[in-house]
Amino acid sequence: MNTTQSNFRGVAYLILALFIMSLQGVAVKFIGGDYSIMEIVLLRSVVALPAAVVLYRLEGQRGLPTTKRPGLEYLRGLCLFISYTTAFMGLASLPLGEYEAIRFSAPLMITVLSVVMLSEKVGFHRWLALAVGFAGVLFMVRPGSASFNLGSVFVLVAMLFYALSVILTRKLQATDSSATMGYYSTILYLVAALVLSPLVLLVGEMPDAQPGIAFLFRGWAMPTPLDAAIMAGLGLIWVAGMYFVARAYSTSQASMVASFEYVSLPISVMWGFLLWHEMPTWTTWAGACLTLAGGLYILYRERQQRSKVIVKQSFVLMESEQAV
């Protein structure tokens, strides 16, 4: 498979992953006001662990997943755990549209880290397209306004650790399968939730605190059957989402795939409209258009380069035939 085909396949995997993982935000909006983050993480991890093993078996493997690089696997899991927790703290503090807008800082972070840590080459046109996309993010977030609050900081922290996890995925893809990565990161989630839950409960509830902090320190409660099913479903959603994220960033260049993280915004707009009758403001639409334009331009450049390669190959073939 050539580079262009790999990039297109990676983008397809990412879009599927973003759609699956958007269900997490919807679920948290429904149940997050009644439960603690740690309770939700613990219960969904209990479900996610056997699901990761099932995915491993579907890859044609036997037994339990193993790795020759446990340090990198657990480091990746820690990055994802921090990203997951802080993202939900931000989600508790912000409307869904604004939350997704700030998440658009992830592609820029991933691109920079891919150059620094993976020595990937990013051309001028791709940098320019990403800069346009980031300008759209700034236009939506409006730094200095009331929307850029502590919740925004939580989401930015989440995106930084998510970007780090993507780079580690790239490093691990040569030796570990996507299901293996999901298995070890789930173990880290489970252990981290078990270790931190007593500490969180010891501090006690903070009902008057900032919404994200209150979400973290909220007391545990017995979930209703429906809420318990939703928490369990989060485990399945996470495993499926992370599996396809790992597939996306293992299949093609991290900087190329990262350019399409913006697709999460129209997905969130759809959920917001269908479930809560929310409509983004004109500034959100304007910023989204900028980010969309940046991503589409990258796709255009990729197709243009593919066309040049085809023309060049045809020209070389014609010269060879003439020589004969």
Contacts of 126 (CB under 8 A, 6+ apart): 111, 255, 256, 259, 298, 301
- Residue 8 has what pLDDT? 82
- Residue 208 has what pLDDT? 80
Residue 58 has pLDDT above 90, yes or no: no
- Residue 242 has what pLDDT? 74
What's the pLDDT tens digit per position in 174-208? 888 888 888 899 899 999 999 988 888 888 788 78
What's the pLDDT tens digit per position in 148-176? 678 878 988 998 999 899 889 888 888 88
Q: How far apart are CA 260 and CA 306, in angstroms?
A: 19
Q: How far apart are CA 257 and CA 261, in angstroms?
A: 7
Give the DSSP letter of residue 106: H
| Separation in Å, CA 122 to CA 125, 127, 159, 307 | 8, 7, 20, 19
Answer for the pair 193, 42: CB distance below 8 angstroms, yes or no.
Answer: yes
- Residue 255 has what pLDDT? 65
- Residue 146: pLDDT band (50, 70, 90) is low
Residue 286 has pLDDT above 60, yes or no: yes
Contacts of 91 (CB under 8 A, 6+ apart): 25, 28, 29, 32, 99, 151, 155
Q: Which of 156, 177, 190, 214 is nearest to 81 (CA)?
A: 190
